[in-house]
């Protein structure tokens, strides 16, 4: 599955998901005739918040229609599963809905981005959603950033969480650990070391910075610093220049002095895709695919 199959593009698909902008009529559908979205990225629905929404629906009704597509028998949800579930709790028999004609690929993309834009996902669900948009629809981190309103570095760091072992991912999913506490564990060489460090972070309620120090210690490779007399002091204004580099490149940049007149610029990257992006941004020359795939995919799926 790739984004060439999306045809209209996410902008067109997402336009007016909850309010018809094309003269569509809202239809009342029987709740019993609707099945959940098979491509729903959310794995958990908070029971307490669903109950609160159900109470609101009892008092005011469903204020925004859900979005469905026709199935051979009945309808399948595209967006609005929380309202559909809460309407069942509220004892409703029917729910207002917009009927759209979407392919499986379009349904998946809409469900992912709709949840991301509404911030309804936990950190691991969010990371998986970004990964699916990259893998299944061939979107770059830059394109996802524009679509969901998050920075490219945020998306890159989110996807990195998927490299953690399942146990640690579950901690992050449940909120037992924050992404900032978990991300430093990625430097540890084995899943067992990562799990042991995670347990210690939780036990002692370590901050993200303390988690970074713990992970560094667990690598058993202490940071070697040169003797104080031989350390080089960055030139005046180096930090300001590093900040300008960071803002221009969209990633962390450090400047280290070697002597009074020269030094090293360190540019961080988090994936091969990001490294390619940095190269193109610095050189100003995109890496043209001999087969023309890059230009084709951009024109096939405007964002």
- Residue 97 in 3-state DSSP? strand
Q: Does position 277 have pLDDT exceeding 50, yes or no?
A: yes
CA-CA distance, 299 to 146, in Å (whole number)?
Answer: 16
**Is 44 part of the annotated catalytic residue set?**
no
In this predicted structure, the answer to whether residue 163 has a pLDDT above a threshold of 90 is: yes
77 bridge partner residues: 68
The percentage of the chain sitting over the pLDDT mark of 70, rounded to a whole number, equals 72
pLDDT for res 134: 85
**Confidence at residue 130, expressed as pLDDT on a 0 to 100 scale:** 86
pTM value?
A: 0.53
- Catalytic residue among 44, 48, 52, 81, which? 81
Cα(82)–Cα(46) distance, integer angstroms:
10
- Cβ(142)–Cβ(8) under 8 Å? no
Confidence category of residue 157, pLDDT binned at 50, 70, 90: very high
Whether residue 104 has pLDDT greater than 90: no
Residue 16 confidence (pLDDT) above 60: no
pLDDT of 272: 74
pLDDT in tens, 28-74: 999 999 988 776 666 667 788 889 999 999 998 888 898 888 887 88
Domains of the chain by start residue, with CATH:
3-121 (3.90.1530.30), 124-218 (1.10.10.2830), 230-296 (no CATH)
Q: What percent of the chain has pLDDT over 90?
A: 26
pLDDT value of position 14: 46
Cα 229 from Cα 216, distance rounded (Å): 25
What stretches of the chain show up as alpha helix (H) in DSSP? 9-14, 47-60, 81-89, 104-118, 123-137, 141-148, 152-160, 166-174, 179-182, 191-204, 208-218, 238-249, 272-283, 293-300
Rounded to the nearest integer, the mean pLDDT of the chain is 77
pLDDT of 43:
61
């Amino acid at each position: 599955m790739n984004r060439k199959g999306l045809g209209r593009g996410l902008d067109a698909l997402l336009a007016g998901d909850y309010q018809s902008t094309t003269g569509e009529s809202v239809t009342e559908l029987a709740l019993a005739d609707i099945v959940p979205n098979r491509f729903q990225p959310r794995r958990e629905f908070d029971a307490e918040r669903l109950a609160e929404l159900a109470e609101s629906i009892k008092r005011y009704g469903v204020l925004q229609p859900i979005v469905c597509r026709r199935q051979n028998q009945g309808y399948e949800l595209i967006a609005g599963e929380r309202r559909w579930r809460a309407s069942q709790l509220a004892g409703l028999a029917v729910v207002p809905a917009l009927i759209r004609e979407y392919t499986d690929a379009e349904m998946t993309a809409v469900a992912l981005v709709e949840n991301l834009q509404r911030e309804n996902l936990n950190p691991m669900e969010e990371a998986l959603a970004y990964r699916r948009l990259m893998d299944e629809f061939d979107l770059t981190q830059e394109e996802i950033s524009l679509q969901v309103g998050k920075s490219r570095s945020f998306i890159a760091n989110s996807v990195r969480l998927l490299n953690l072992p399942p146990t640690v991912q579950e901690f992050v999913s449940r909120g037992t650990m924050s992404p900032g506490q978990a991300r430093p564990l990625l430097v540890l060489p084995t899943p067992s070391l990562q799990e042991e460090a995670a347990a210690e972070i939780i036990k002692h309620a370590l901050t993200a910075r303390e988690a970074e120090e713990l992970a560094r210690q667990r690598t058993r490779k202490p940071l070697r610093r040169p003797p104080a007399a031989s350390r080089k002091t960055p030139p005046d204004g180096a930090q300001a220049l590093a900040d300008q580099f960071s803002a221009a490149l969209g990633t962390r940049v450090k400047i280290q002095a070697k002597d009074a007149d020269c030094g090293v610029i360190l540019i961080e990257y988090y994936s091969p895709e990001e490294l390619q992006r940095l190269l193109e941004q610095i050189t100003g020359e995109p890496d043209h695919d001999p087969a023309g795939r890059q230009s084709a995919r951009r024109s096939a799926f405007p964002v």
